[in-house]
Amino acid sequence: MAPTPVIRLHADDSVVIARAALLPGAEVAQGVAATERIPAGHKVAVKPIAVGEPVKRYGQIIGFATQAIAPGQHVHVQNIGMGEFSKDYAYGVDVRPTPNFDLPATFQGIRRPDGRVATRNYIGILTSVNCSAHVAGLVADVFRKNPFTGHDPLAKFPNVDGVVALTHKTGCGMTQLEPLTVLRRTLGGYARHVNFSHVIILGLGCEMNQIGGFLEEQRLAGRLRSLDIQDVGGSRKTVEKAVAFVHEVLAESNNVKREPCPASELMVALQCGGSDGYSGVSANPALGAASDLLVRHGGSVILSETPETYGAEHLLTRRAVSPEVGEKLVALMRWWEDYTQRNGAEMDSNPSPGNKAGGLTTILEKSLGAMAKAGSTNLVDVVGYAEPVTKKGFTFMDTPGFDPVAATGQVAGGANLVCFTTGRGSVFGCKPSPSIKLATNTPMFRRMEDDMDVNCGTILDGDETVQQCGQRIFELILRVASGEQTKSEAFDFGAAEFAPWVLGATM
């Protein structure tokens, strides 16, 4: 049977979603026809909505009518806006036991000497400051495969996934302690990351983020090699010494093998970017179903992007395992309200032009769809940006909504794999962790098939259920964790996307 032309998500909703573009006269509900053209993924009213009345999608408030809306009208930025409404945080009322499967799933992982399990095996080059970024890039280039000649400097080391330089634009000119602390915590998380066999950090020598202070603060002394360009005697000598270091450790890095490991060793970062009106209908809930499967197999998932959870946080606090965990999440929302106000912005500034073109109208609507990535299991912890994630299950990490910054924090926290949903077509990687791209709709998947790993548009097309798609995603997670290459890895994405959160004024 052909799918209906619109998608109704909840009986209480005052709007439905156009499965494809609707022409005037198309039936959108019993006795209701579209009165104007409705773009694909956009909302159309199915009942009268008075000025100031809440507009509902997912059975939740996504905004308030700024003008009277008649049944059949297009509902978007021209007639809906933000507004205040009370939220019942009801800490823990939806907490339920999460029974583990009797036979946990496994994947082919790389077990490190300390017992942790990696999904990839990179050698990393980190930088303390932007001033050493170019030198770090020169070192990584020595070991890069030539796309024209096919020459591969790592051909004799098949178990090494690559040598990657992760550079950034800060490390000096900082006016406060907090920005330096956040940067060091992020770099420390990468320096310890299980997907790196070895790490070298390069500095200039006079920067605020002194390598010695960084190593001491992050308790990394003796764990990694470091070089300061000024002490070594310039760029050329630093490149030579760093290249020599990589040559020195290549054989040891290559001396690994994959072995069966339980899925409980997986920590998956949940991300979305370039969202559209379908994100909360297909890819996000499908990823949520996969998240639930992973948690039931003993694994961990990390939801982030605090501004893109704003307005939906009351649904997560109900799943918090304790009032303290729920209160941490609410406190983050208050911090972001203050942060945006201090900077002359507002929370509803978040939906991008692309989001709006794809059918999303307010941050409330975007948040309700975004949180679906975390499935339905209990919220076990709330952590700060780039802080280590230590508990099994579903954890929330405070990050901005900007995808590269958010994912950088999640990987610093320990994520050894990333799942990234997109409706408009984001291209993204996140070395040293592989990134799986999930398309919300079939037309975009076909248009950008070289970048997308999973088509979740099958849900919209009526070809499979959310649960079936989630099972397919979960099985791909296991294969990618076992070494199967993702589309972003085939394009060598993942180094330029390293983006620590920059806080405070730059001097």
Q: What is the pLDDT of residue 1?
A: 60
The third-level CATH classification (topology) of the domain covering 108-259 is Rossmann fold (3.40.50)
The third-level CATH classification (topology) of the domain covering 6-81 is 2.30.130
Residues near 298 by Cβ (< 8 Å), separated by ≥ 6?
A: 100, 104, 262, 263, 264, 392
Q: Hey, what are 14's tokens?
A: 């005052």
> What is the CA 162 to chain-centroid distance, rounded?
22
Q: What is the pLDDT of residue 282?
A: 96
Q: Which residues pair with 65 in a beta bridge?
A: 80
Which pLDDT tens digit goes with each residue over 65-105? 999 999 999 999 999 998 888 889 999 999 999 988 889 89
* pTM flag (> 0.75): yes
Asked if residue 199 has pLDDT above 80, the reply is: yes
- pLDDT > 90 fraction of the chain, expressed in percent and rounded: 85
Which pLDDT tens digit goes with each residue over 164-196? 999 999 999 987 899 999 999 999 999 999 999
Rounded to whole angstroms, the Cα distance separating 242 from 261 reads 33
Asked if residue 17 has pLDDT above 70, the reply is: yes
Other CB atoms closer than 10 Å to residue 167's CB: what's the count?
Answer: 21
Asked if residue 223 has pLDDT above 80, the reply is: no
Rounded to whole angstroms, the Cα distance separating 15 from 9 reads 9
Which pLDDT tens digit goes with each residue over 269-303? 999 999 888 999 999 999 999 999 999 999 999 99
Which pLDDT tens digit goes with each residue over 251-267? 999 999 999 999 999 99
| Domain range summary for the chain, segments of one domain joined by + | 6-81, 108-259, 270-307+368-491
